[in-house]
Structure 1
Amino acid sequence: MPQGDKSKYTVKQERKADHIAKGYEKRGVKKKEAERRAWATVNKDDGGDKKPGGSGRGRSTGNPAAHKGGKLGGKASAARPAAARSASARKAAATRKRRG
């Protein structure tokens, strides 16, 4: 199988790669680089191809790449005024205290 051949990947893996690539493109990554990163992510998640005859068949997956999403968040919270964040923190603390 030549390098870059995707014939051993399942339809689900191809959909997954397309979805990941679109997310990268939305964030401004060039199309070719987004596709490269997407397939690298699929390989990291699934251990390679999944069709019969491929080396990745039958392995369990812990979906390691799926755990990175939280690193991207926090922008909405940071954009709020300090007083609003502080009020939310006080309210949360009161709730935790009340519930024990």
Structure 2
Amino acid sequence: MSQGDKSKYTDKQKRQAEHIEESYEKRGVPEEEAEARAWATVNKNDGGGKQPGGSGRKKDSK
């Protein structure tokens, strides 16, 4: 199981990670490694989770 909370990712990002993971597994990459690579790829392409909630730090309104 991968680390981290995936609740901040959109459904599209989750689907993308699943397809990427399946692709790696077809090439013989172990399941855990494939999952880690898939989420790393989604993060690289989109910059991480897109749903609101982030780090909890409030931005200065100035």
When normalised by structure 2's length, the TM-score is 0.80
Q: Which amino acid aligns with 2:51?
A: K
Larger Rg: 1
Runs of 5+ consecutive residues of structure 1 not aligned to the other structure: 56-100
Q: Does 1:49 align with 2:49?
A: yes
Counterparts in 2 of 1:8-87, with a 5 A limit? 8-54=8-54
Higher helix share: 1
Aligned length: 53
**What residue ranges of structure 2 are gaps of 5+ in the alignment?**
56-62
CA drift at 1:31:
0.5
Instruction: Give 4+ residue runs of structure 1 displaced > 6 Å after superposition.
Output: none
CA RMSD of aligned residues (A): 1.2
Give the structure-1-normalised TM-score.
0.50
- 2:20 maps to a residue whose letter is I
User: 2:59 maps to what in 1?
Assistant: none
Between the aligned residues of both structures, percent identity stands at 74
Write the distance in 2 (CA, Å) between the matches of 1:4 and 1:40: 12
